[in-house]
Chain A
C-alpha cells in the first residue's frame, strides 16, 4: 500500500514536471513568435531602441572586457602547458586566438551578460507588470510588446556581436600579455602567429553566436518579466528564472550552432 502510494506520487510529480516543461516551451514559442512579428512591423520606438542599446551594450563593456582579458591570459598558460608536451609551443598564439574568437568570447561573454542583462530586464518588466504599468500601457493604446519587448530584443541582438568583437580583441590581448611577459614569446612572432592562422570563418561564426545569444538574453528577460507572478516574490522568481533560463539556453544553442558551423 505505502509503496504503491509512493510510486504513484513519484510518477505524478514527474508527470507534472514534464507537463510543466512542455507548457512553458509552448508559451515561450508563442511569445517568441509574437515578439519577432512585432520586430518586423511598424511602429518602431527608435528612442527606446537607442536607450536599450546603451543600457545593454555600452554598460556591459566593463564586465565583458574583464571576463575576456582573464580568459585570454589563462588560456595562454594552459595551452602552453599542453603544447609543451608536443614541443609545439609556437601554436599557443593561434590556439588562444581561435579559442577566444570561436568559443570563449561569445559563450563566456554571453553568460556574463545573461547574468547582468536578463536579470535587469526581468526585474524591470516584472515590476511594471506587478505595479500595473503594463496594463497602463495597454489602456494608453500602446502595445506593450512593441514598447517593451521589441526594443530590448533588437538592441540585445545588435549589441552582443559588437560587445563580443571587442571582447575578442581584449581576450587576445590578455593572451599576448601573458605570452610575451610570462612565457617569453617574441612580440612580433606572437602577433604574426595570431593573425596568420585566424580565418574569417572563425570570427564570423563567433559573432553569429553572439547575436543569437543576445536574442536569447533579451527574450528570457522579457518573457519571465512579462509573465511575472504577483508581488515582490513574483518578480524575484522571474529574475532568477530569467538568468537560469538564459544561461542554459545559451549553452544549448552554442552546441547546436557549433554543430551547424562544424558540418558547414
Chain B
C-alpha cells in the first residue's frame, strides 16, 4: 500500500450555484485496480469523474494522478495527463459529423502519433468487434445507431488508444442483459490483462459484483463507504445496504 495511488482525491468539493453537489470527496484508486462508484442518480458521480479529467474545476480539494497534482494543471502537462485517459461518457458523446470508425479512431487519427487512415481504421474495426459490433457499422453515422449501439461505440473509442486509465460512466445502461455481460467481461479483461486502472459508474448490481475490486458509495456529496467488493454485503453501512438491496425505506430518502 506504500505505492503512490494512480488516482487520489482529497476533499474535492464542487457546487453549481446553490446546489452543493460534492462536499469533500476522498477517494484513492491503486494502479491496476477496478473501482466502481455507486450512488443514486444526481449524487455527483459523473461530476466526480469530470473533475478528475479537469472538465469541471473543483471549488476546493486536491486531485492527484500518478502523484502529480492535476486539478490546477494546464497546457502541456494537462495534455500529457489526458493522454493516459480514456472516457466513456454517460450519453456516448459521439461526434455526429464523423462516421463510427472515425469516432473510434479519433485519437489515433489526430493525437500525438498520427496513424495513416487504413491502419487507424483496422484498429477501430477490431475495437468495434470487441464491443460486439459488426464491421458494417464502421461506415455508419452515430445518428443511424440505436442508443445501446452508440454506447458501445463510445466504449470502443474510450479503449481505442490503449489508455492506462479508463473511466466508464454507466457502461451497461440501456444494453440488453447479454450485451451488458459482454461489456462487463470486457472491462474485467482490460483490468486483468492489460493492467489498466478503471473507474466505473453503474447502478447495475450484477455489474458491480462482476467488475469491482473496490466499491465506493457516494451520497450527499461525500463517500459514505469504500471497501473491497467482498465486504460490500456485510459493510454494516445503512446507505450501502439500502442501495444494494434496492429498498425504498432507509436513510436515503426517496423523494416522491
Q: Which residues of A approach B to under 8 Å, CB–CB?
A: 45, 128, 131-133, 135-142, 147
CB pair B106–A140 under 8 Å, yes or no, is: yes
Closest to A45 in B: B110
Contact in complex: A141, B82 (CB < 8 Å): yes
Q: Which one of B79, B86, B93, B106 contacts A131 once the chains associate, using CB atoms below 8 Å?
A: B93
| Tally of B interface residues using CB under 8 Å | 23
Complex contacts, A137 vs chain B, CB 8 Å: 95
Task: List residues of chain A with CB within 8 A of the CB of B157.
Answer: 140
- Asked if residues A140 and B55 are in contact (CB atoms below 8 Å), the reply is no
State the Cβ distance, A240 to closest chain B Cβ, in Å. 22
Enumerate 27 A-B pairs (CB-CB under 8 Å) in ascending A order: A131-B91, A131-B93, A132-B89, A133-B93, A133-B94, A135-B55, A135-B89, A135-B93, A136-B89, A136-B93, A136-B94, A137-B95, A138-B55, A138-B82, A139-B53, A139-B55, A139-B87, A140-B106, A140-B110, A140-B111, A141-B79, A141-B82, A141-B83, A141-B111, A141-B112, A142-B106, A142-B110
Contact B87 A136 (CB under 8 A): yes
B85 interface residue (CB < 8 Å to A): yes
Specify which chain B residues have a CB less than 8 angstroms from the CB of A45 in the assembled complex. Answer: 110
Instruction: Determine whether the beta carbon of B50 is less than 8 Å from that of A140.
Output: no
Interfacial chain B residues near A136, Cβ < 8 Å: 87, 89, 93-95
By beta carbon, the residue of chain B nearest A136 is B93
Contact indicator A132/B93 (Cβ below 8 Å): yes
Min CB gap B110→A, angstroms: 5
Q: Does B127 contact A (CB under 8 A)?
A: no
Q: Within the complex, what minimum Cβ distance (angstroms) separates A260 from chain B?
A: 37
Q: What residues on A are CB-neighbors of B95 within 8 Å? A: 128, 133, 136-137
Most chain A C-beta atoms within 10 Å of own C-beta, residue among B87, B89, B93: B93
Is the C-beta of B14 less than 8 angstroms from some C-beta in chain A?
A: no
CA of A215 to CA of B111, assembled, Å? 28
Query: Does B107 touch A at the CB level, under 8 Å?
Result: yes
Q: CA of A95 to CA of B95 in the docked complex: distance in angstroms?
A: 49
A127 → chain B closest CB, angstroms: 8
Interface code B95-123, partner A: CB below 8 Å = 1, 0 otherwise?
A: 11000000000110011100000000000
- In order of increasing CB-CB distance, the 4 nearest A-B pairs are A132-B93, A136-B93, A139-B87, A135-B55
**Bound-state Cα–Cα, A151 to B134, Å:** 33
Question: Which residues of B are found within 8 Å of A128, using beta-carbon distances?
Answer: 95
Q: Are B91 and A139 in contact, CB atoms less than 8 angstroms apart? A: no
Residues of B within 8 A of A135 (CB): 50, 53, 55, 89, 93
Closest to B79 in A: A141
Closest to A43 in B: B110
Contact with A along B71-95 (1 / 0, CB 8 A): 0000000010011011101110111
Instruction: Output the least CB separation between A12 and chain B (Å).
Output: 20
Which residues of chain B are near A138, meaning CB under 8 Å?
53-55, 82
Q: Which residues of A contact B53 (CB under 8 A)?
A: 135, 138-139
Residues of B within 8 A of A132 (CB): 89-91, 93
Within the assembled complex, what's the spacing in Å between the Cα atoms of A176 and B111? 54
In angstroms, how far is the closest chain B Cβ from the Cβ of A172? 37
Q: Are A139 and B82 in contact (CB under 8 A)?
A: yes
CB distance from B161 to the nearest CB of A (A): 8
Q: Which residue of A has the minimal Cβ distance to B46? A: A132
Distance of A84 from chain B, by nearest CB (Å): 54
Contact with A along B45-76 (1 / 0, CB 8 A): 00000100111000000000000000000000
- Do B50 and A141 touch (CB < 8 A)? no
Most buried by B among A45, A133, A137, A141: A141
Contacts of B107 in A (CB 8 A): 140-141
Residue of A whose beta carbon sits closest to that of B111:
A141
Most central of A131, A133, A140 by chain B CB within 10 Å: A140
Closest to A127 in B: B96
B4 CB → nearest A CB, Å: 23
A133 to B85, CA, bound (A): 16
Question: Distance (Å) between the CB of A145 and the closest chain B CB?
Answer: 13
Q: Measured between alpha carbons, how far is A114 from B215 in the docked complex, in Å? A: 52
Complex: A131 Cα to B85 Cα, angstroms: 20
Alpha-carbon gap, A45 to B85, bound state (A): 23
B7 to chain A, nearest CB (A): 15
Kindly list chain A residues whose C-beta atoms are within 8 Å of the C-beta of B85: 139
